[in-house]
Amino acid sequence: LPEHVGVIMDGNGRWAKAQGKPRIFGHKSGMDALKKVAVHGARRGLKVMTVYAFSTENWARPVDEVKFIMSLPIDFYGKYMPTLKAENIQIRMIGEREGMPKATLASIDRAAEETAENTGMILNFAMNYGGRRDIILAIQELAKSGQDLSLLTEEELSKHLQTAVLPENLRDPDLII
Ligand code: FPP
């Protein structure tokens, strides 16, 4: 069994279109599907599930669609917090906070706090996350602290990536779907 599984949320729009529904209907259904997948993963004994829900590139989508996607975490935790707690799931987030709506961040922070004592699977939301952006921000931080970047090791870099919110041996996905 892989320990850390990444799930790229894709095809919501196409799926909705095939049903003759608007794209946001697909996102809403994607949110409900995510809950099912997370519960299944937790019960099967995965250690971490990272869901790539919104990338830094996704800001280029129509404003209304972005707004809707940013409202989904509020909906998700409002609806599913009792389930997440019952399934012993811990919520975390990676991604850049800057630029994200305050209410969205507040709902994710609250969910992380309320599940901090849980010991089961970590459900890690990648929101406003970009892999290259993560590396750039880490290097900028290291440069500012006066480190000699020509001596930078993978271990040192890894400590400064946003994925450092995950346990050290579980930061990189074993499988990405
Ligand atoms: C990609 O599908 C999906 C997204 C950009 C957004 C997915 C995010 C959610 C459903 C929210 C997740 C929930 C929480 C709690 C954070 P697409 O629109 O690119 O589909 P397409 O490729 O068919 O166009």
Determine the Cα–Cα distance for residues 131 and 139; give it in Å rounded to an integer: 13
CA 74 to centroid of ligand 1, rounded, Å: 15
Confidence category of residue 128, pLDDT binned at 50, 70, 90: very high
Please provide residue 96's backbone torsions phi and psi, each rounded to the nearest 5 degrees: -90, 125
Confidence category of residue 27, pLDDT binned at 50, 70, 90: very high
Whether residue 10 lies in the annotated active site: yes
| pLDDT for residue 12 | 95
The closest of 124, 122, 111, 125 to 47, measured between CA atoms, is: 122
Confidence category of residue 36, pLDDT binned at 50, 70, 90: very high
CA 128 to centroid of ligand 1, rounded, Å: 12
Task: Tell me which residues have their CB closer than 6 angstroms to ligand 1.
Answer: 9-14, 27, 30-31, 34, 53-54, 58, 69, 72-73, 76, 125
Q: Higher pLDDT residue, 103 or 57?
A: 103
Look over the chain and give the mean of its residue pLDDT values, rounded to a whole number. Answer: 96
Best residue for ligand 1 mutational test, from 7, 8, 10 (most atoms within 8 Å of Cβ): 10
Tell me the percentage of the chain whose pLDDT exceeds 90: 99
Q: What is the pLDDT of residues 42-76, one digit of tens each?
A: 999 999 999 999 998 899 999 999 999 999 999 99
Chain position carrying tokens 């004592």: 117
Confidence category of residue 160, pLDDT binned at 50, 70, 90: very high
